[in-house]
Amino acid sequence: MKSAADSRSLERALALMERCLRPAGAASLAAEFPLVFEERFSGRVVTYQEKGDVRSTCALLVRDLVLEGSRLRVGLIGSVATQPSWRGRGLASRVLEEAEHSLAREGCAAALLWADDPDFYAARGYRAIGWEIDFVLPLESLASVVSDATLRALAPDDVAAVHRLYSRHSARADRSEVETAALLECPGMTTLVLQRERDVAAYACLGRGGDFANTVHEWGGGEDDVMALIAEHARRLQPLDPEGSIAVIAPPGASRMRERMRGLGAQINDGILAMAKVLDSEALCELVDRFGGSLRVERDSHSKVGASVVARGPRGSRSLSNEDLLALLFSPRGNRDAVADLERELGVEAPGLPLQPFLWGLDSI
């Protein structure tokens, strides 16, 4: 639970975030990000204050990523905001550093964020990682996609089924059913489900704040059923914007959906998942040892500044910086260049790398 002092800081931080990040009249960030702002959940904010006034702030949420049967604890950082009159004084950097230290103390291997200003975060050690597929297609192009199942709006009794469908994703952030229920109540979001007889077989969430307008950002179930739900979302949007389009976010493994989308004439873009910074290289070394085949890595206590890990193989060794380690494990868009270079140089085989973590739209903060 958050203390009374925490609650006062939280209110001031929320007010600053909303002034900086939301247009006047927009829905409250507290309702959009319940895992951060509701007392029953563990998310929190970091603030820089002077005389009780919050000058700069960001939101934090610790998550366990499920990937390839393994788990990796990460910290999500979001909603970074600084009072306009105090910008340019390094306050956002100080808040970011405190957030990273806090997440490291909680056992997070890396900090992840979604950046409007990538250069700002790159200068502070963050690098692009991972892979998502972004589809964009005209609303009218989905008219031919139909289903004989029942397509309807989410009802309160559907939450348990939706949570079960979410939990079947092999790459995801681990959530409790209570957390899923809170996230499904986000304002400005429409969730549709596909029902066969008594069972909910698929779901699809459209819209969430300004970042996901007309975007299906989370879904679960068979990809054909999900396509039917996307088409139903498009049909409901079309009267409001006949010439409009709909976007869909998918993990790289959604191969059947990619085929269907290509056949419908969708624009298909391979995007990055997030920006990340290493907080605990030992935890990432364990992932390399688990999935890296004959490649072995370990902390290098005698390395030069900027190199924290040494990779070993039959042909020798190479020092790796934290940025190298991220590229090895989670390279942007699944690019294997960093892995292939290491395979050739050290005489190893690492067919399981890079990994493909994924966070769905409801996980953003």
Q: Which domain holds residue 95?
A: 4-108
- Among 57, 75, 108, the domain-final residue is 108
Q: Of the candidates 198, 207, 200, 248, which has an alpha carbon nearest to the alpha carbon of residue 227?
A: 248
What is the total count of domains within the chain?
Answer: 3
Question: Is 126 a domain residue?
Answer: no
pTM value is: 0.94
Locus of tokens 């291997």:
109
Q: Which of 74, 108, 142 is the last residue of a domain?
A: 108
Residue 43 shares a structural domain with residue 102: yes
Kindly state whether residue 71 falls inside one of the protein's structural domains.
Answer: yes
Please check whether residues 242 and 148 belong to one and the same domain: yes
Residue with tokens 């009072």: 83
| Residue-wise burial string across 241-251, b where 16 or more C-beta atoms lie within 10 A, e elsewhere | eeeebbbbbbb
For the chain, which ranges sit under pLDDT 70?
1-5, 301-307
The answer to whether residue 113 sits within a structural domain is: no
Q: Examine residue 351 and state whether it is found in any structural domain, yes or no.
A: no
Residues 261 and 322 in one domain: no
- At 307 the pLDDT is 58
Q: What is the pLDDT of residue 8?
A: 84
Residue 77 inside a domain? The answer is: yes
pLDDT digits (tens, 9 = 90+) for 119-152: 999 999 999 999 999 999 999 999 999 999 999 9
Q: Is the dihedral of CA 68, 69, 73, 79 positive or negative?
A: positive
- 156 shares a domain with 260: yes
User: What was the pLDDT predicted at 3?
Assistant: 38
196 and 281 together in one domain? no
Claim to verify: residue 243 and residue 304 sit in the same structural domain: no
Pair of tokens at residue 143: 């008219």
Co-location of 266 and 305 in the same domain: no
Predicted pLDDT of residue 1:
35
pLDDT at 262: 97
**Residues 307 and 258 placed together within one structural domain of the fold:** no
Given this model, what pLDDT does residue 23 score?
87
List of residues 6+ apart from 299 with CB closer than 8 A: 281, 282, 285, 308, 309, 310
CB 185, CB 138: distance < 8 Å = no
User: What Å distances lie between residue 328 and 49, 101, 271, 276, 297, CA to CA?
Assistant: 38, 24, 18, 13, 11
Q: Rounded to an integer, what distance in angstroms lies between the CA atom of residue 325 and that of residue 346?
A: 15
Residues 6+ apart with CB under 8 A from 263: none
For position 5, what pLDDT does the model report? 45
Whether residues 157 and 210 share a domain: the answer is yes
What does each C-alpha distance from 295 to 281, 315, 323 come to in angstroms? 16, 11, 18
Which pLDDT does position 129 carry in this prediction?
98
My answer on whether 216 and 311 are in the same domain is: no
With respect to residue 235, please indicate whether it lies within any of the assigned structural domains. Answer: yes
pLDDT of residue 302: 64
Residue 256 and residue 340 in one domain = no
Which of 225, 251, 271 lies at the terminal end of a domain, its last residue? 271
In a domain, 32, yes or no: yes
Helix (H) or strand (E) holding 82: strand 70-82
| CATH code for position 256 | 3.40.630.30
262 and 138 in a common domain? yes
359 located within any domain: no
Please compute Rg for the chain using Cα positions.
22
Six token digits for residue 167? 């939990």
